[in-house]
Amino acid sequence: MPFHTHKLIQPGTQVAMRRVLTATVLAILVVLGAQFRAPIQTVYSLASSHHPETYTELYFDNVVKLPTRVTVGKLYKFGFQVVNHESQAMTYHYQITMQHNQTTQTLVSGDLILPADGVATVPVLFSVDQLDQLTTITVSLVAQHELISFRSQS
């Protein structure tokens, strides 16, 4: 008796099964995609969009020429710069103080209105009135809680 083999899957059925399987996988992906669309869009948006860091620069105009040794009664000059990197126009309230012998005196205060990426240089004059005095000059951007300072000895 001859040995015959019978195929359990008819020709063409295999192709049909692949199509059904592909359609099922695609349907599952569509359903999952619809459920996770918003979170995926949010993640993609955060990952692909550029959000520049916003900040303000405050520094002395010429740090090597700051008056660190001063003579009583002589007028000294320094400058400071503010650079706006906040991506919008900003108003900066600044205050310059002089501290010596546990006393703080406001030398000058004012406002700077800077456009986005704007720069301003502010000149400041001061003098000391006592000999052998350590003086600290501080420039503050009040609302930004930023400050810079230097010391002078008379």
Question: Between 3 and 32, whose confidence is greater?
Answer: 32
Q: Do 27 and 82 lie in a common domain?
A: no
CATH number at residue 75: 2.60.40.10
Question: Do 43 and 60 belong to one domain?
Answer: no
Domain count, the chain: 2
Q: Is residue 92 part of a domain?
A: yes
Residue 81 covered by a domain: yes
> Quick one: tokens of 69?
């040794």
The residue segments making up the domain with residue 29 are 13-48
Tokens of 28: 């599952």
Asked whether residue 72 falls in the same domain as residue 33, the answer is no
pLDDT at 2 over 90: no
Could you tell me which of 63, 136, 58 has the C-alpha nearest to residue 93? Answer: 58
Residues 43 and 63 in one domain: no
Same-domain pairing of 70 and 122: yes
Clarify whether residues 102 and 44 are in a common domain: no
What average pLDDT score do residues 34-62 get?
77
CA gap 30, 38 in Å, rounded: 14
Looking at the fold, whether 63 and 129 belong to one and the same domain comes out as yes
**Residue matched to tokens 């000149």:** 123
pTM: 0.67
Comparing 30 with 2, which gets the higher pLDDT? 30
Please report the sign of the dihedral spanned by the C-alpha atoms of residue 62, residue 138, residue 153, residue 131: positive
Assess if residue 23 is contained within a domain: yes
Between these two residues, 142 and 23, which has the higher pLDDT value?
A: 142
- The answer on 69 and 22 residing in a single domain is no
Q: Do residues 80 and 139 both lie within one domain?
A: yes
